[in-house]
Chain A
Amino acid sequence: GAGVSQSPSNKVTEKGKDVELRCDPISGHTALYWYRQSLGQGLEFLIYFQGNSAPDKSGLPSDRFSAERTGGSVSTLTIQRTQQEDSAVYLCASSFPGVNSPLHFGNGTRLTVT
């Protein structure tokens, strides 16, 4: 596709359940990012993958959050034992390598934990 694709677009889950969010980056983009956006707030950095380097996990809020990127392309963000405070929009972005490359965002997954 032409842009970053995220699925599902909406996810409602019960407290305590695990969820998986998927991101398909733009072809050729070696950098991939996950951000979280609470209602009316800015974007909170979660994790960053760059090529084959070890990911920067410094933004993950707890050990219930994890992410992987298989084959340098598709990424999955997993939240275990979801809590109500996990409710937010989870945004994925990709870019070419280099600190001066703009990020291209998907439309996000809106997660609601009931």
Chain B
Amino acid sequence: EADIYQTPRYLVIGTGKKITLECSQTMGHDKMYWYQQDPGMELHLIHYSYGVNSTEKGDLSSESTVSRIRTEHFPLTLESARPSHTSQYLCASSLPGTHRNEQFFGPGTRLTVL
């Protein structure tokens, strides 16, 4: 079934650890995005990708990095987690063309850094 997956769904980790949040989609979409969302607040774009080997920074500055080696996979990495990184991270994808701004979202990863 075509979908967008995120793992883990919940992660509690100590300060200084390296973490990778996984995002995969089986929808055949070219564009993928990472958003950060604090509780009760709006979503902020932190990274996006137009396709393989393409990565761009979003509107909100983030210490995280991303890679896009395969079309379906768009992982986000934090080299050294800090409490300020505690948030929900949402992955999304979209098709190019007429509905290029219409995005499909994964279930999210809720990250807590102690």
Indicate whether A and B interact: no
Residues on B facing A (Cβ under 8 Å): none
